[in-house]
Amino acid sequence: MAIPTTNVSFSSIYNAINNPDHNGTDAISLSNFRGQTFTTGSPVPASGAISIDPDFRGRTPGSNLIPDGTYQFPPTAGSDSIWHIPYYGLYDYSQGGMIYLKEDIETATDTVGKGGHLKGIAFQWDGYTNGYRRDNQTIKISHIIGDSGFPDPGYPDYRTLALKNTTTVKEDFSFWTYNNFSTFIDFDIGFDYNGVNNILISWENRDGDWQSGYGRVKGRVIPSDRSHAWYRDNSYPTSSSSNNKGVPNIKFKFITP
C-alpha cells in the first residue's frame, strides 16, 4: 500500500506502513517512522531533518517487520546481579514486572521503528540449582503508553501504568531453570509488538510453595526503576511494594507468523 500523493496525513503514513490501521487516539509524529525502508530510494533518515517531501509522499513501504531471529539486549550483557526477578523462589508467590524501551528493542535488533511478532524470551539466570522447578507460571506482555519506569511504591496490577494490548503469551506452565541464557521460553501465543511503544513483561509465579536453590538474573542495576518485584507467602501479592530493580539481560525471539 503506497502512501498517498495528496492529503498526506500522519495517519495515512501510519496506515500505509502498519497493520492494523491507526486507532485514531495514539499520538503520531514523523519521527516515529525514522529508519522506515521503501521499495525504492533511501530509508527515512535515522537522525536529522525529515519531512513529508521527499521522505514519504507517494512512496511504497518495504517490509517494516523485525527480521526473524534471536536478539540480545544489551548487546554486551550487564554483569550486575538482580535479585527477586522475574520470580522469587524464597516465597510461595511472587511477581516480577520488567520494562523494556522501544530504544532497547531497536538496539537489540538493529532496526528503527519496526514492529514484529515476539515469540519467546530468555533471561540470563545465575546461581540457580540446575533444574530448579516452578509450577503454575504465567507470562503477560503489554505495550506501555508513555511510561519508561516503575513508580516506587508500585502495585502488582500496574494501576499507574497506561497499558494496552495485554496478551497472555504463556499460561499455567512449569518452568525448569538452568543457568545463563540456556533456558528459552517459547510462547504459546505470540505478542505483536508495534514498533512504537515500550513493553511490559509481567511474570506471575503462582507455585504456592517456596523452594531452596533459587538464584538471580544478570543485568544492570541502573536505571533501577526498570523492573519491580512483589512477593508473599500463603497468598498472591496484591499490595504495593518498594522493590524497584534494574534491567535484566534478555534475549528476544522474533518469528513472523
For 108-151, write each residue's pLDDT tens digit.
999 988 999 999 999 999 999 999 999 999 999 999 998 899 99
Q: Measure CA of the first residue to CA of the last residue in the chain; give whole Å.
A: 20
The answer to whether residues 179 and 228 belong to one domain is yes
The confidence band for 98, taking pLDDT boundaries of 50, 70 and 90, is very high
- Is the pLDDT score of 16 beyond 90? no
- Is the pLDDT score of 9 beyond 90? no
Q: Give the residue, 88 or 33, on which the prediction is more confident.
A: 88
- Is the pLDDT score of 215 beyond 90? yes
The answer to whether residues 233 and 200 belong to one domain is yes
- Is the pLDDT score of 19 beyond 80? no
The answer to whether residues 56 and 76 belong to one domain is no
The residue from 34, 64, 94 where one domain ends is: 64
Residue 27 vs residues 17, 18, 41, 206: alpha-carbon distances, Å: 16, 15, 27, 37
The residue from 15, 41, 64 where one domain ends is: 64
Q: By residue range, what is the domain housing residue 155? A: 69-254
29-81 tens-digit pLDDT: 888 888 787 877 888 888 889 988 889 898 877 667 899 999 999 999 999 99
The confidence band for 164, taking pLDDT boundaries of 50, 70 and 90, is very high
Beta carbons within 10 angstroms of residue 178's beta carbon: 13
The answer to whether residues 159 and 144 belong to one domain is yes
Q: Give the residue, 5 or 120, on which the prediction is more confident.
A: 120
The answer to whether residues 117 and 13 belong to one domain is no
The answer to whether residues 173 and 248 belong to one domain is yes
Single pTM value for the model? 0.79
Handedness of CA 91, 171, 135, 252 (dihedral sign): negative
The residue from 64, 82, 110 where one domain ends is: 64
Number of domains in the chain: 2
Mean pLDDT calculated for residue range 75-104? 97
The answer to whether residues 85 and 203 belong to one domain is yes
Distance CA 123, CA 140 (A): 15
Q: What is the pLDDT of residue 14?
A: 86
82 close to 219: Cβ distance less than 8 angstroms? yes
User: What CATH number corresponds to the domain at position 184?
Assistant: 2.60.120
The answer to whether residues 55 and 74 belong to one domain is no
The answer to whether residues 163 and 91 belong to one domain is yes
Q: What is the pLDDT of residue 115?
A: 93
The confidence band for 86, taking pLDDT boundaries of 50, 70 and 90, is very high
The answer to whether residues 171 and 193 belong to one domain is yes
The answer to whether residues 24 and 93 belong to one domain is no
Grid cell at residue 55: 521522505
The answer to whether residues 54 and 87 belong to one domain is no
